[in-house]
Amino acid sequence: MSATTPHIDVRDLTMAYGTNVVMRELNFQVSRGEIFVIMGGSGCGKSTLLRHMIGLLQPASGEIFYNGKTFTKATAAEHQRMLRTFGVLYQSGALWSSLTLAENIATPLEEFTDLKRNEIADIVSYKLSLVGLGGFEEYYPSEISGGMKKRAALARAMALDPEILFFDEPSAGLDPITSRRLDELILEISRSMNTTVVLVTHELPSLLGIGDNSIFLDVTTKRQGPIGNPSFLKDHSTNPNVRKFLNRGESPSPTTQATPGP
């Protein structure tokens, strides 16, 4: 792996459910430490793409590489090893309701490491403090707010020190202020730990606020639209569909600029 090898490399990925093609021939790369947003209108295939990237769905064709190694065609053992480098936070942020927060976060550590009880307890407390929940170890999910549940789920996703964090609509069901705090936390974690983040969202404040780079899935063509910094695309993209999406349905003319953009 050279210094220029992308952390994630998606090549010619076509996704389908049976004969129903969702997106054709996606090609994009994600650099290490970047916050990469998958965006597009409802039903364009954002969650489907995320599920391909974490191995829950197999491509109709094409391949996904991590650190230059194939994920799609990896051996079972290699596939498992790669999965261990991923942390995933689903829309529901599902925590086990019968377990305390500490037990929730300890579970992946008990399952996948040989760490001793006291070492696990230390890691659990550290991860909870990272997400602002230090002292809440013995609380049950039903005893905390929606925003706190998302943060606890984030602590669990980070339990095994993932290289990549995948988020599927993390702000779903949160009020704007709580949602913004979650964005700030995602940004802080990504920057301080150099964790690559892949974020599915259609929340404009979120994707414009923290996205370093993005891909627009165009439901009208079933192909990818522009790739680039979302704030840049909002004002400068020559693609009317992405400008419309990023400007809440309006499609203002692109702002002229010195160099040609995506």
Stretch touching ligand ATP by CB under 6 A, among 26-34, 35-43, 107-115, 146-154: 35-43
Contacts of 182 (CB under 8 A, 6+ apart): 147, 150, 151, 154, 170, 171, 174
Q: Tell me: does residue 42 bind ligand ATP (CB under 6 A).
A: yes
Total residues contacting ligand ATP by CB under 6 A comes to: 11
E strands in 211-257: 213-218, 223-227
Stretch touching ligand ATP by CB under 6 A, among 42-50, 131-139, 186-194, 245-253: 42-50
Q: Tell me: does residue 45 bind ligand ATP (CB under 6 A).
A: yes
Report the residue from 8, 35, 39, 44 that binds ligand ATP according to the rule CB under 6 A. 44
- Residue 243 is inside which H or E element, if any? helix 240-246
Distances (CA, A) of 54 to 89, 110, 111, 134: 11, 22, 19, 29
Report the residue from 48, 104, 206, 237 that binds ligand ATP according to the rule CB under 6 A. 48
Report the residue from 1, 12, 21, 43 that binds ligand ATP according to the rule CB under 6 A. 43
Residue with tokens 């010619």: 12
C-beta of residue 115 within 8 angstroms of C-beta of residue 109: yes
- Which of 223, 164, 171 has its CA nearest to residue 194? 164
Question: Site residues for ligand ATP, window 195-214 (CB under 6 A)?
Answer: 202
Stretch touching ligand ATP by CB under 6 A, among 46-54, 58-66, 118-126, 245-253: 46-54
Least distance (Å) between residue 206 CB and ligand ATP = 13
- 180 is written with which tokens? 């913004």
Least distance (Å) between residue 46 CB and ligand ATP = 4
Least distance (Å) between residue 108 CB and ligand ATP = 25
DSSP code, position 38: E
Helix, coil or strand: residue 21: strand
* Cβ atoms < 10 Å from Cβ of 24: 17
Report the residue from 46, 127, 149, 236 that binds ligand ATP according to the rule CB under 6 A. 46
Report the residue from 22, 54, 158, 197 that binds ligand ATP according to the rule CB under 6 A. 22
Kindly list the residues in this chain that would bind ligand ATP in the complex (CB under 6 A). 17, 22, 40, 42-48, 202
